[in-house]
Each structure stands twice: as C-alpha cells, then as structure tokens.
A and B are shown apart, each in its own frame.
Chain A
C-alpha cells in the first residue's frame, strides 16, 4: 500500500508540470494571433532569469484607479487598427458581468493590479546576454508583443517583435 502511495506522490508533480506545459502549448497552437505595442524595462527573477517587463499599450485605459478596483476582473475588447502594421488596440474595457452580452468577439481577460490592467502577459523571458540591447529597444518604443488569444480571453505570448522582426532576427542583425 505504502509503495503505491509513494508512486502516486511522485507522479503528482510530473502530471501537474506536464499538464501545465501542455495547456500552455495548446493555447499557443490554437488561439487567435494579435500584435500589441509595448513600453518597458528589464529586471530578472531568481527562478526563470532575465525578463522584459512592459506595459502593453492598449490604446485605451482601464478604470483601475482607487483601492476598490484592485483585483477586479476586466476584459480588453480588441479591434484591429487599420493601416498600422496589423496592430490591435483595445476599443474599450468591459466588466466580467457584461462580457457575455457585449458584441466583442476578440478580447483578453485580465485583472486590475497596481492600478492598471494586467493579463498575465507582461513578462518576456530573454537570455542574459541580450537583455541590455532588447531593454533599450523596448524602452525606445520599438517593441511589440505577439499574443495568441483563446475564445475565453486567455492570452499566451508567442513572440517579441523589435522593429517588426522577431527578437532573435533583430539580435542577429
């Protein structure tokens, strides 16, 4: 009995970690692609290394000011901007209660955190040696983030664009 319990205990982390990886991969494979402009800087964390953190320029601001807004669930309704390299912008932010009744077909789900809308896609992990140059490029407004967005509004990061190219190509130049 104890042996089977041990096998179950050891299998649990493997199953959860594999499930986590699989869910992320599935989101990347199936979602709709959107490109959004970003502005940001480069810190690092102890677990996953250097990352760029940025503020996504949705083109509209969510009502996240004041203490009551903290943690509130919101949806950024996205519309493709005409004639601007296929960029998307948020036409408006909709509350969790109103999203089903709205005419919005493409949206990102997020929450109010530290006074602004955050969708869990505000970090892009990069190799240490490219951190300074990518940080500079993003700071000067050359960065855009490519996301895949599922039907429920869950977003996953696909790529970071600098001057319209993937960051890897940009670094190779």
Chain B
C-alpha cells in the first residue's frame, strides 16, 4: 500500500476507534522501515537489463570474425566470472533488487555465451537444445531470486523450449513425432502437474506461480483452438485435427492411428494424475479444488471429443461459409469454450484475481456475440439471440446469488 493511502486508512480506523494513535504510529514506523524498491522501479530496472542483454546477444550474433575466437571467449568468460562474483557479493539479501538485476544479467549472458560457443565451434544445434541447456544451467541461480521477474523468465524460456522441441521437425511422423505431438496437446495438464510439484518442493516454490499461470494460458489456447476448429468448419479438413497436425502420413494411416492412441492415452493418464494432485492439495480451499478438478475433467472431455466424434461421417468442407455445415459442430465449439471460461472465471473469483475474472467475463460476452454472427448471420436474429442470452445470464446470476450458500455447501460436501 502507498504511504499516503496507508496514512489515510489508519486515520479513518483511528477515528472509528478501531486502533489507537500509538498503534497507528507503530504501523507507519514499521512500514517505513521495511520499505523496499517500488515495483515500478524494479520493473524498469529489469526492462533495462533485458534490453542491454538482448543488445549483447545481438552484438555477439553479428559475428566479429576479425577478433580472434580466443579473445572473444576470454572476454565472455571474464564478464561471466565478474557477474558471478557480484552475485556472491549481493547474495546476503541486503539489496534484493540489485541481486535480481545482476542475476538477470548473468542468466542472459549465459544464453549469449551458448550462442557465442555455438558460433565459434559451428555446433549447429536446434533452438530448443540451446534453451533447454540454458534452463538447466541457470535453474539454481533462478531459485535464489528475490522477486518474480527471474522465475517468470525461466518458466517462459522453459516452456518455449518445450514447444520448440514439439515442433522442431515439421514432419511429425515416426515414433518420436507421435510423442512430441501428444506432449504438446497435454501441456495444460503437464504444466499444471509441474506447478503442483514445484509448490510442494520448497526450493522450487518460486516457479509454481508462473507455471500455474502458463497452465491456465495453455488451457485457454487449447479451448480456443477447439472452438475455432469446430465453429469455423476447419475440423472437417484433415489438417486441423490435433493428432494430424503436420502429419505427412495422412488420414487413416497406421501412424495417424498410433498418434491418436498415444494422444488420448496421455491426456487421460495426465487427467487422472491432475485430479489426484488436486485432491491432495489440502492447502487450497474446497471450492478452488472442485473448480480445478472440473477444469481438468472438462479439458479431458474436450480433447477426447476429437476421438468420439466421427468427422469422416460428415461431408468434407473446404470453406467455412458452407451453408450445410452441421449445426451440432457449429455450436459444440462455443459451448465448450463458454463452459471453460465460466469455470475459469469462478476459479479466478475464488482466488480473488479480479482482473483475470473480468477478462474471462468479457471473453464470455464476446464469444456470445460471435456465436450469433456465426450461426444466424442476420442482424435481427443476432439481436434477438443476444437479448435472450443476456436475460438467461442475468436470471442465472440471480438464481446463483439467492441459492449460493446451498450450492457451496453441496459442492463443499463433495470433497469431505
């Protein structure tokens, strides 16, 4: 809380007789003594460090061939050792922002060093290999960070490496390709499980929050993909089915069948694992655990629908404007998408993440609007449809508000 806002709040409480003048003074003294670098200053410092580091990576990438390789490597390792010494110097936590800035610079310079060694020795590896190596060697330093920038950076780099690995070969044929594709589509669950693991393993605790965030983002991404593939009609083309993405083996081949088997098996096994993990997350309240369980189950159902629906039975479409495109498929996407967004909005409301809750509610409204344009087309039917939908939502909220205690008691009883 800002000092001025805190003073106003304390004055109000003092006036109401909730606290004494001494207590108010004590709180102000305590807050002044523990004041750290404001988050705005911290963010700008990290932005500056990131830009400088990207500049160094770019300078290295320019390949100064006139400078002998030995000299470049000596300068690089000299800088790394210097930064390492600084990190040890500030490791006592007296200046957390300085430690984080130096650690971020050190971590970025490790990436630049991988690039430099790769350039000098023409190692020719893939991007995902460089990122995995970077993540592995910088994980211990990441765990010493005081604020969130470095763990967020690490999680983003690690997940980028995973996605780059999943798609590093555009032909996803063969046994390895099948597993890579299945791994990609299971990311919402596998990242969630990784986050639960980090939450329980105390040294890795810093990574739990960014991993939970990315798990939710992957869940949203998979839902949006499911929705757009079904509501636009692209699913009736082979390429938009998740197990056939980039699959040169084609529709109905042995490899496609093998991909599908691995894909569904992995999703189902991970869902069971996620449900078990949620059940044992006793530190979360029951409502949050129920909502997390419902989200995992809905994701599993959504992904299994790709296997349940017999797309081959429908007429093939190569245009999203085909008039006879089945209404069932047109409505399935939005129905799943809105259900997922509703569950997410309840979860964010329960966790008191107001901005994310508002985002989900706005997305639900937007999706309703798009449904009517997709399904009915004309302005008159769209208008009537939106009015009816709005009234249904208001009625549902009123019913929910009046009977929320009963519903909560019932939901809570499920986990007792």
Binding site for B on A (CB under 8 A): 2-3, 5-14, 16-18, 20-21, 24-25, 28, 44-51, 66-71, 113-115, 120-128, 130, 156-157, 168
Question: Smallest CB-CB separation from A167: which chain B residue?
Answer: B65
Which B residues are in CB contact (< 8 Å) with A24? Answer: 117, 120-121, 123
Partner of A124, one of B115, B122, B138, B176: B122
Which B residues are in CB contact (< 8 Å) with A7? Answer: 88
Which B residues are in CB contact (< 8 Å) with A126? Answer: 63, 65
Q: List 26 A-B contacts (CB under 8 A).
A: A5-B144, A6-B88, A8-B140, A9-B141, A13-B80, A13-B110, A13-B113, A13-B141, A14-B84, A17-B110, A17-B117, A17-B137, A20-B114, A24-B121, A46-B57, A50-B63, A67-B171, A67-B173, A68-B175, A69-B174, A70-B173, A114-B170, A120-B123, A121-B124, A124-B122, A125-B63
Question: Smallest CB-CB separation from B80: which chain A residue?
Answer: A14
Which B residues are in CB contact (< 8 Å) with A127? Answer: 62-65
Are B88 and A48 in contact, with the CB atoms below 8 A? Answer: no
Interface string of B174-205 (1 = CB under 8 A from A): 11110000000000000000000000000000
Bound-complex Cα distance A14 to B107 (A): 11
Question: Smallest CB-CB separation from B142: which chain A residue?
Answer: A9
Which A residues are in CB contact (< 8 Å) with B166? Answer: none
Are A6 and B124 in contact, with the CB atoms below 8 A? Answer: no
Which A residues are in CB contact (< 8 Å) with B305? Answer: none
Are A21 and B177 in contact, with the CB atoms below 8 A? Answer: no
Given A6-B91, A13-B110, answer yes or no on A49-B121 (Cβ-Cβ < 8 Å): no
Bound-complex Cα distance A51 to B115 (A): 12
Task: Report if B295 contacts A (CB, 8 A).
Answer: no
In the complex, chain B residues 85-126 whose Cβ is within 8 Å of any chain A Cβ: 87-88, 91-92, 106, 110-125
Bound-complex Cα distance A44 to B92 (A): 42
Partner of A17, one of B65, B91, B113, B169: B113
Name the distance in Å between B12's Cβ and chain A's nearest Cβ.
42
Which A residues are in CB contact (< 8 Å) with B106? Answer: 10, 13
Bound-complex Cα distance A157 to B170 (A): 26
Specify which of A2, A113, A125, A130 lies most central, judged by the most chain B CB atoms within 10 Å of its CB: A125
Are B65 and A28 in contact, with the CB atoms below 8 A? Answer: no
Binding site for A on B (CB under 8 A): 57, 60-65, 73, 77, 80-81, 84, 87-88, 91-92, 106, 110-125, 127, 130, 133, 136-138, 140-141, 143-144, 169-171, 173-177, 248-249, 255
Name the distance in Å between A112's Cβ and chain B's nearest Cβ.
9
Bound-complex Cα distance A127 to B81 (A): 27
Name the distance in Å between B173's Cβ and chain A's nearest Cβ.
3
In the A-B complex, the 4 residue pairs with the smallest Cβ-Cβ separation, listed nearest first, are A67-B173, A9-B140, A70-B174, A49-B61
Are B80 and A17 in contact, with the CB atoms below 8 A? Answer: yes
Are A125 and B117 in contact, with the CB atoms below 8 A? Answer: no
Bound-complex Cα distance A12 to B112 (A): 16
Partner of B121, one of A16, A47, A68, A156: A156
Which B residues are in CB contact (< 8 Å) with A49? Answer: 60-63, 115, 119
Given A3-B88, A9-B143, answer yes or no on A115-B171 (Cβ-Cβ < 8 Å): yes
Question: Smallest CB-CB separation from B116: which chain A residue?
Answer: A48
Bound-complex Cα distance A128 to B119 (A): 12
Are B63 and A47 in contact, with the CB atoms below 8 A? Answer: no
Name the distance in Å between A58's Cβ and chain B's nearest Cβ.
16
Which B residues are in CB contact (< 8 Å) with A71? Answer: 174-176
Bound-complex Cα distance A124 to B120 (A): 9
Bound-complex Cα distance A9 to B84 (A): 9
Specify which of B92, B116, B119, B177 lies most central, judged by the most chain A CB atoms within 10 Å of its CB: B119
Given A20-B117, A70-B174, answer yes or no on A14-B111 (Cβ-Cβ < 8 Å): no
Bound-complex Cα distance A145 to B174 (A): 30
Are A3 and B91 in contact, with the CB atoms below 8 A? Answer: yes
Are B119 and A6 in contact, with the CB atoms below 8 A? Answer: no
Given A21-B117, A24-B123, A70-B171, answer yes or no on A12-B61 (Cβ-Cβ < 8 Å): no
Name the distance in Å between B407's Cβ and chain A's nearest Cβ.
48
Are A121 and B138 in contact, with the CB atoms below 8 A? Answer: no
Are B141 and A10 in contact, with the CB atoms below 8 A? Answer: yes
Which A residues are in CB contact (< 8 Å) with B125? Answer: 120
Bound-complex Cα distance A66 to B248 (A): 9
Are A168 and B122 in contact, with the CB atoms below 8 A? Answer: no
Which A residues are in CB contact (< 8 Å) with B110? Answer: 13, 17
Question: Smallest CB-CB separation from B176: which chain A residue?
Answer: A71
Are A67 and B61 in contact, with the CB atoms below 8 A? Answer: no
Are B127 and A45 in contact, with the CB atoms below 8 A? Answer: yes
Given A9-B141, A48-B119, A156-B121, answer yes or no on A70-B80 (Cβ-Cβ < 8 Å): no
Which B residues are in CB contact (< 8 Å) with A113? Answer: 169
Which B residues are in CB contact (< 8 Å) with A51? Answer: 122
Given A47-B57, A49-B62, answer yes or no on A67-B137 (Cβ-Cβ < 8 Å): no
Which B residues are in CB contact (< 8 Å) with A68? Answer: 173-175
Question: Smallest CB-CB separation from A156: which chain B residue?
Answer: B121
Bound-complex Cα distance A44 to B125 (A): 13
Specify which of B130, B171, B174 lies most central, judged by the most chain A CB atoms within 10 Å of its CB: B174
